[in-house]
Chain A
Amino acid sequence: MSTRLETRTPAIRGVTRRRSDRWLLAAAVLICALPAIWGSPLYYGWATTGLLWAMWTLSLNMVWGTAGQFSLAQLGLGAVSAYTFVLMLDNTDIGPVGAALSGIGLAAVASLAMSVAALRLRNFYFAILTLAFALAITTVFANWELAGRTSGLLVQRSVLPELSFWRPSVGYGDFYALCAVVFVVAYAASLFLTRSFAGRAMQSVRDDEKLASSLGHSPLSIKTLAFVLSGLVAGAAGILQALYFRLVVPELYDTQAILLAVMLLVLAGLGSPAAPLIAGVLYTVLYQVLPVSGESRAGILGVIVVLVVVLAPGGIASQGRALLTFVRRRRAGAEKENDV
């Protein structure tokens, strides 16, 4: 297996671009705020699903882009969390917050276990093991009486606590606000943590930066952290998705969904910190805004994916960067001419 994938790790490359983080975060907040301008349930609906996919890809980007491990288990982790959440709500008195924390915690623990497996297994094996994990999880839920088998379990948004100004069970905007806040917090945390740990990694390998980046070596701690964090994000995404659909059902986490997350992330730009934002917008455009049939949509997405992989391997994010550099150069060139 080549280490090419890991050389894309932004954790190491990106330390010099601390300022860009602030811009990204601002962009995230701005994009999240967009649907509020119109305030229509339709746009809130579109934006909520976009956010959910942004969270799935954020989770995948941490494991795959940052830790360099191609995992197909992220939706499986989301399933663990979502089912735990609903099962605990239905069968215990723990309350929504406790149930959510248990679900997310369990997803993080499972992700941690996976990081241990990743130490032992090479990329190909790891990918197939994670795919098997995800399928085993849905098979178990699809056959478990308590989990509603293939019918799944219903969950009402009214389990969420309500405040006088915030009623997520009825207001589309209110539930969207919850998703947006969770996403922005997760996104900020991912930017901050990868950066600060990457900083330490940089110190430790300062003497030979070239070697470090060419080998894609990152300290164990970054990888472990990336796994745990991605488990937390997948867990949160799973619970929000369950609340959005008011339903947990095995088919939400099937192979199709897993491959969709992979395609979205690569289209957006694997390893780029901006990727989850782009992926969320992509999903919204392709799956919500475009009125094409499900069959042709898959074809369109496939064609775009193949084109991007062949023509622009860095995805949309790297094209954006290229455009930025190009514009800057043109401007610099123009200024020089003016000087003369």
Chain B
Amino acid sequence: MQAVASGLFLAALYGLAAFGLTIVYGVLDILNFAHGALLVLAAYLTAEFVLHDVPFWVSALLSIGLIAGVGALLELSVFRRVERDHTAGLVASIGVIAIVGSIILQVWGPEPYSLPRLATGSVEFFGANLLIDRLLIIGIAAVALTAAELYISRAGWGKVLRAVAADPDSAYLNGIRVRRVKTAAFTIGAALAAFAGILIGTASTFDASLGEQFVLKAFIIIILGGVGSTKGTIGGAIILGMAEAFGVAYLDIAVAQLVPLAVLAMVLLVRPQGLFGKVSQRV
């Protein structure tokens, strides 16, 4: 039971981190390594606001807004200019990681930071101790992800996003302003990264290296779920979260570190289009 709770908690964080990445990858066709950098930057910004006595919820909203702005700016100034060359996009995103990492270390230094906890205390449930704030995070993530998924699959705007992801050229011919959609997608992706970063920050301490861990996990999830599939991303997050939690609970930690990589290798060898991906999907 403890492992299941841990797995769901990890899945919630991974899911939020990967969801934004999936949207960016699907619409802009960029392997955005900098996603993790934006995620951790949001956590630091929130911590800074909180230190200046801004209420937590206001800080969080401010940071999400700021990071969304940074995302929009990045798309307009950098990623737009390399849109037909995803190698360049990928390398630019690696450059952005270096820049953000440098800023974080110079402004906030190497000491780990943390954010106020959402709630304290724990409840007993089938012999397991469940932290209330983690249950809250799982709940928030579930609501947020469901809402985002419904939005993308049902709402008009979501349809536009999907159309651009599927085929930018015919979307353009059908009167969709593809460039604007791409900027919006990157902005939404950045905001989701910020949201994930802040939630992670409330649950544990973080330092500049946090983004690196999460972006790799997010990539693995995207592959597990099938590239470009948002439903698959959620499924992938649950699988990876559970695999890791059970690995830590029942295996040596060293072995557990290899579990996500092993899951990835297996999926790539057996079903390269991802567990939830369709064979015909554009990847």
A binding-site residues for B, Cβ under 8 Å: 1-2, 4-5, 70, 117, 120-122, 124-125, 127-129, 131-132, 135-136, 139-140, 142-143, 255, 259, 262-263, 266, 270, 295-306, 309-310, 313
The reply to whether A120 and B102 contact each other, CB–CB distance below 8 Å, is no
The reply to whether B258 and A305 contact each other, CB–CB distance below 8 Å, is no
The reply to whether A129 and B98 contact each other, CB–CB distance below 8 Å, is no
Interface residue SS majority, chain A: helix
For B89, give the chain A residue with the smallest CB separation: A309
Q: Choose the segment among B142-150, B171-179, B261-269 that binds chain A (4+ C-beta atoms closer than 8 Å).
A: B261-269
Nearest Cβ distance between residue A186 and chain B, in whole angstroms? 24
Interface residue SS majority, chain B: helix
* 14 A-B interface contacts by CB (under 8 A): A2-B86, A124-B283, A125-B268, A125-B272, A125-B283, A139-B257, A139-B258, A259-B97, A263-B94, A270-B87, A302-B98, A302-B99, A305-B98, A313-B82
CB-CB contacts below 8 Å: B81-110 with A? 81-82, 84-88, 90-92, 94-103, 105-106
Proximity bits, B222-265, A CB within 8 Å = 1, else 0: 01000100000000000000000000000000100110010011
Nearest Cβ distance between residue B23 and chain A, in whole angstroms? 15
Tier of interface size on chain B: 35 or more
* Residue of B91, B96, B265 contacting most chain A CB atoms (<10 Å): B91
- Give the 8 A-B residue pairs with the shortest CB-CB distance, closest first: A299-B102, A302-B98, A305-B95, A302-B99, A143-B254, A295-B105, A306-B95, A302-B95
The reply to whether B97 and A302 contact each other, CB–CB distance below 8 Å, is yes
The reply to whether A309 and B91 contact each other, CB–CB distance below 8 Å, is yes
The reply to whether B102 and A295 contact each other, CB–CB distance below 8 Å, is yes
Nearest Cβ distance between residue A332 and chain B, in whole angstroms? 32
For A307, give the chain B residue with the smallest CB separation: B95
Nearest Cβ distance between residue B85 and chain A, in whole angstroms? 5
Residues on B with C-beta less than 8 A from A5 are: 85, 87
Residues on A with C-beta less than 8 A from B227 are: 124
Which one of B98, B219, B265 lies within 8 Å of A299 (CB-CB)? B98
In the complex the two chains form, what is the Cα distance from A148 to B272 in whole Å? Answer: 35
Contacts A295-B102, A310-B92 supplied; 9 other A-B pairs, CB < 8 Å: A121-B268, A127-B90, A128-B220, A135-B216, A259-B33, A259-B98, A262-B91, A266-B91, A301-B98
Which one of A2, A259, A303 lies within 8 Å of B94 (CB-CB)? A259
For B86, give the chain A residue with the smallest CB separation: A2
Residues on B with C-beta less than 8 A from A135 are: 216, 261
Residues on B with C-beta less than 8 A from A313 are: 82, 85, 88
Which one of B87, B103, B265 lies within 8 Å of A132 (CB-CB)? B265
CB-CB contacts below 8 Å: B169-210 with A? none
The reply to whether A139 and B254 contact each other, CB–CB distance below 8 Å, is yes
Nearest Cβ distance between residue B86 and chain A, in whole angstroms? 7
Residues on A with C-beta less than 8 A from B100 are: 302
